[in-house]
Chain A
Amino acid sequence: MKNIEFRTATSAQGGLVVMGGVPGVAAGSRVQLRDHAGRIRSGLVIRAADDAVLVEVFEGTDALDLENTWVRFLDEPFKLPLSRDIMGRVFNGSGLPRDGRPPIISADRRDINGEPLNPAARAYPREFIQTGISAIDGMNSLTRGQKLPIFSGGGLPHNRVAAQIVRQARLLGEEAAEFVVVFAAFGASHADARFFQESFEESGVLNKVVMFLNLADEPVIERLLTPRAALTAAEYLAFDLDYHVLVVMTDMTAYAEALREVAVLRGDVPARKGYPGYLYSDLAELYERAGRIKNRRGSITMIPVLSMPSDDITHPIPDLTGYITEGQIVLGRELANQGVYPPVTVLPSLSRLMKDGIGKNFTREDHPHVASQLFSSYAKALEVRGLAAIIGAEELSDADRRTLEFADAFERRFIGQGEDEDRSIHETLNLAWDLLSMLPPDTLIRVSEVELAKYHKGAA
Chain B
Amino acid sequence: MGKILEINGPLVKLELPQTVIGEQVRVGRMGLVGEVIGRDGDTALAQLYEDTAGLRPGEVAEGLGWPLSVELGPGLLGAIFDGVQRPLQAVWEQSGDRIARGVAVPALPRDTRWHFVPEPARQAGSALIGGDVLGSVQETESIRHRILTPPLIRGELLELAPEGDYSLEEAIGRVKLADGRIEKLYLFHRWPVRTPRPFRQRDHAVVPLITGQRILDTFYPLLKGGKAAIPGPFGAGKTMLQQQIARWCNAEIVIYVGCGERGNELTDVLESMPLLTDPHTGRPLMERTLLVANTSNMPVVAREASIYVGITIAEYFRDQGYDVVMVADSTSRWAEALREVAGRLGQMPVEEGYPAYLGSRLAAFYERAGRVETCAGDHGSVTLIGAVSPPGGDFSEPVTSHTKEIIQTFWALSKELADARHYPAVDWLESFSGYVGSAAKWWAQHVDPNWERDRAEALDLLAASEELQRIVNLVGVEALSSEQRWTLEAAGLIKEGLLQQAATDEVDSFASPEKQYALLAALLEIYRHGLKLVKLGAPARRLIQMPLLSQARRWKSQHSSDELAALKAKIAAIPDAFEPLLQEYAHHPSPLRGEGQGERVSAQAPGSQT
Contacts and interface: CB of A to CB of B under 8 A. Distances in A.
Contacts of B271: 124
B399 to A, nearest CB: 12
A118 B98 contact: yes
Contacts of A119: 80, 88, 258, 263, 266-267, 270, 293, 295
B296 A125 contact: no
A445 B266 contact: no
A376 B421 contact: yes
Contacts of A443: 550
Interface stretch (B116-124, B140-148, B439-447, B473-481): B473-481
A347 to B, nearest CB: 4
B262 interface: yes
Nearest to A122: B267
Interface stretch (A176-184, A268-276, A426-434): A268-276
Interface stretch (A24-32, A127-135, A204-212): A24-32
A191 interface: no
A88 interface: no
B437 to A, nearest CB: 34
B290 to A, nearest CB: 13
B420 A347 contact: yes
A162 B562 CA distance: 48
Nearest to B333: A280
B262 A288 contact: yes
Interface stretch (B89-97, B517-525, B600-608): B89-97
A322 B234 contact: yes
A368 B343 CA distance: 46
Given A24-B57, A280-B333, A117 B349 contact: no
Interface stretch (A153-161, A331-339, A348-356): A348-356
Interface centre among A48, A120, A391, A448 (most CB of B within 10 A): A120
B7 interface: yes
A288 B340 CA distance: 20
Contacts, number: 210
Interface stretch (A108-116, A215-223, A297-305): A108-116
A122 B235 CA distance: 22
B523 to A, nearest CB: 14
A440 B271 CA distance: 40
Interface in B1-47: 5-9, 13
A233 B380 CA distance: 51
B446 to A, nearest CB: 31
B476 A118 contact: no
Contact of A319 (B54, B234, B550): B234
B7 to A, nearest CB: 4
B460 interface: no
Interface in A326-380: 326-328, 347-348, 350, 352-353, 355-356, 368, 372, 375-376, 379-380
Nearest to B295: A119
Contacts of A326: 262, 264
B5 A375 contact: no
Nearest to A293: B97
A50 B56 CA distance: 9
B389 interface: yes
B267 A323 contact: no
Interface centre among A118, A119, A278, A375 (most CB of B within 10 A): A119
Contact of B262 (A324, A347, A380): A324
Contact of B264 (A24, A47, A125, A347): A125
A117 B92 CA distance: 10
Contact of A47 (B7, B97, B394): B7
A77 B58 contact: no
A28 B58 contact: no
B98 A115 contact: yes
Nearest to B299: A116
Given A26-B54, A269-B349, A272-B391, A285 B421 contact: no
A395 B419 contact: no
A28 B267 contact: no
Nearest to A444: B550
Contacts of A269: 339, 343, 349, 353
Interface string B253-270: 000001010111011101
Contacts of B362: none
A418 interface: no
Contact of A348 (B343, B419, B474, B557): B419
B297 A50 contact: no
Nearest to A145: B264
A375 B500 CA distance: 14
Given A314-B392, A314-B394, A387-B476, A121 B92 contact: yes
B177 interface: no
Nearest to B240: A352
Contacts of B352: 271-272
Interface residues of B, number: 78
Interface in B230-265: 233-235, 258, 260, 262-264
B473 A27 contact: no
Contacts of A115: 98-101
A322 B235 contact: yes
Interface residues of A, number: 80
Contacts of A227: none
B262 to A, nearest CB: 7
Given A115-B98, A445-B550, A445-B553, A288 B343 contact: no
A27 B98 contact: no
Interface centre among B264, B300, B340, B352 (most CB of A within 10 A): B264
B151 interface: no
A120 B80 contact: yes
Nearest to A52: B6
A95 interface: no
A92 B229 CA distance: 46
Nearest to A285: B297
A241 interface: no
Given A27-B7, A117-B98, A391-B475, A122 B263 contact: yes
A277 B343 contact: yes
A316 B422 CA distance: 26
Contacts of B419: 347-348, 379
A162 to B, nearest CB: 21
Contact of B13 (A49, A380, A397): A49
B547 interface: yes
B345 to A, nearest CB: 11
B143 to A, nearest CB: 21
A120 B89 contact: yes
Contacts of B267: 119, 122-124
A435 B110 CA distance: 62
B574 interface: no
A400 to B, nearest CB: 9
Nearest to B475: A391
A230 to B, nearest CB: 16
Interface string B289-306: 000010111111000000
B387 to A, nearest CB: 11
A88 to B, nearest CB: 27
Contacts of B343: 268-269, 277
A117 to B, nearest CB: 6
B472 interface: yes
A442 interface: yes
Contact of B97 (A117, A124, A316): A117
Given A48-B56, A390-B474, A316 B98 contact: no
A286 B56 CA distance: 26
Contact of B52 (A27, A49, A120, A391): A27
A267 to B, nearest CB: 10
Contacts of B393: 314
Sort A-B residue pairs by CB-CB distance and give the 9 closest, nearest first: A28-B53, A314-B392, A284-B296, A49-B6, A288-B297, A379-B420, A322-B234, A115-B98, A27-B7
5 contacts: A49-B5, A119-B267, A269-B349, A348-B415, A390-B476
Given A48-B6, A280-B336, A379-B421, 12 more contacts: A28-B52, A46-B9, A48-B8, A118-B92, A119-B258, A272-B352, A278-B300, A281-B296, A284-B297, A375-B421, A386-B473, A397-B477
